[in-house]
Structure 1
Amino acid sequence: MHGPASPGWLLVALCAATGAYCLLRMRSTVEEQRRAAGGEALMGFGMAAMAVPAAVAAPPHWAWLGYAAVFGAAALRALWAARGGGHHLHHVVGACAMVYMAVVMAASPGHHHAHGGSGVPLVTGALLLYFTAYVLLSGVRLLPVAAMTGSTGSTGSTGAMLPRPARTPGWGDRPELSRACRLSMGIAMLAMLVTL
């Protein structure tokens, strides 16, 4: 996570911007959107904090344990919410990945990972495979799809059906923005795992 400074700052900026957008999404009128956005905001800001280059600020040992505790609690909350299905299982995996990275960083001498090789290769490899598949799937979901029109409209003065104007969702409820947010966090997670 603490490699060269320039990519590290780009990762911090990406994660912080994603976290900020997710905070704004918490204003949605849809309760499920608000709950998901809260978990994603926590992930975004947590990833931004963990990605700060070590040359600038090397966190003390207790900070890594704090990250592990916060994301452990987030994993338990997401696991509880996953009873209903949905996107919560991905939140469980993401929070567990954050706990894993925090524990590895806390256990490593000097907390520097420019050379890698500090984590358990099997766990790191499994997480890399999962997030690679997640990023690819999220990218495919962002591809434009022909809009299907299934709504009926009202009749005009000529008796012909007029299309009913579609309700435009608020910017916080737009699924493509949520997917782009999740895609960027998946890419950031991959970048952090690669340097582990």
Structure 2
Amino acid sequence: MHGSATPLSASAASAWLLVLLCAASGAYCLLRVRRADRRARGTAAGEAVMGFGMAAMAVPSGTGPWGPQILLAVCCGASVHALWLLRGGGHHAHHLVGTLAMAYMALSATAGHGHGRAGLPLVTGALLLYYSGYVLLGGARLAAAGGAPYAAAGPGGRGADGAGELVRACRLAMGMGMLAMLLSM
């Protein structure tokens, strides 16, 4: 969703850093799937799909096999999965918004609106507001958790939602990545 893949451009360097950040978050979430109990496995799997999907979307244009049509199909499949998991409540509503936002960006790219061109201003603006709020709230929660004694978070350093500080940091990183991609539209 970024500019050209020129090796010396600042835009390409920031795009590749975003790819790395999202892929690392996705890999960590994939590791969480293996360790999680049955109930938390769906959330971790959804976050892994989001991380890897965002990494694929952040690849500078003209690089790699990821065409907008493939990304659109993957994002739509992830949206259906998030909708299925939504029946359990919790963090899955955010996954649904995220997968729909990624499908929207992929659709904008297939329609010739991506890579620096705006999608629908109302949809883009609403998503920008959502992710700005998500990032600010997530950052505040992470800062508050960092200030509290580690043992106060409960067994294993996990908070009430079952997420440790590293999980919250990954969620925050992916939220910032989504915000950056939306800003580049």
Name the SS for the 2:90 alignment partner: coil
Between Structure 1 and Structure 2, the one with more helix by share is 2
Whether 1:84 aligns to 2:88 is: yes
**Unpaired segments of 5 or more residues in structure 1?**
151-165
CA contact under 8 A between 1:8 and 1:52: conserved in structure 2? Answer: yes
> TM-score scaled by structure 2?
0.83
Cα distance in 2 for residues equivalent to 1:174 and 1:120: 34
Aligned counterpart, 1:134: 134
Name the SS for the 2:34 alignment partner: coil
Aligned counterpart, 2:73: 69
Q: Aligned-pair distance for 1:148?
A: 10
Whether 1:186 aligns to 2:175 is: yes
Percent identity among equivalent residues?
54
Runs of 4+ in 1 over 4 A off after TM superposition: 147-150
Cα distance in 1 for residues equivalent to 2:140 and 2:12: 31
Cα distance in 2 for residues equivalent to 1:149 and 1:45: 32
Cα distance in 2 for residues equivalent to 1:42 and 1:123: 23
Cα distance in 2 for residues equivalent to 1:7 and 1:128: 19
Name the SS for the 1:27 alignment partner: helix
**Unpaired segments of 5 or more residues in structure 2?**
4-10
Number of corresponding residues: 172
Q: Aligned-pair distance for 1:81?
A: 1.5
Q: Per the alignment, do residues 58 and 31 of structure 1 end up closer, same or farther by CA in structure 2, a change over 3 Å counting?
A: closer
Amino acid at match of 1:94: G
Spell out the pairing of 1:20-169 with structure 2 (5 A cutoff).
20-57=27-64, 59=66, 63-108=67-112, 113=115, 116-143=116-143, 144=145, 146=148, 167-168=155-156
Q: Aligned-pair distance for 1:37?
A: 1.1
Q: Aligned-pair distance for 1:10?
A: 0.6
CA contact under 8 A between 1:108 and 1:118: conserved in structure 2? Answer: no
CA contact under 8 A between 1:5 and 1:55: conserved in structure 2? Answer: no
Aligned counterpart, 2:23: 16
Q: Aligned-pair distance for 1:124?
A: 0.5
Q: Per the alignment, do residues 135 and 149 of structure 1 end up closer, same or farther by CA in structure 2, a change over 3 Å counting?
A: closer
Relative contact order: is structure 1 or structure 2 higher (C-alpha 8 Å, sep ≥ 6)?
1
Cα distance in 1 for residues equivalent to 2:170 and 2:151: 27
Name the SS for the 1:142 alignment partner: helix
Provide the alpha-carbon RMSD of the alignment. Answer: 2.4
Cα distance in 2 for residues equivalent to 1:9 and 1:149: 36
Q: Aligned-pair distance for 1:96?
A: 0.0
Aligned counterpart, 1:156: none
CA contact under 8 A between 2:75 and 2:99: conserved in structure 1? Answer: yes
The Cα offsets for residues 78-116 of structure 1, whole Å up to 9 and x where unpaired, read as 11211221000000000000100000011107x6x2xx3
Q: Per the alignment, do residues 25 and 57 of structure 1 end up closer, same or farther by CA in structure 2, a change over 3 Å counting?
A: same
Q: Aligned-pair distance for 1:28?
A: 2.0
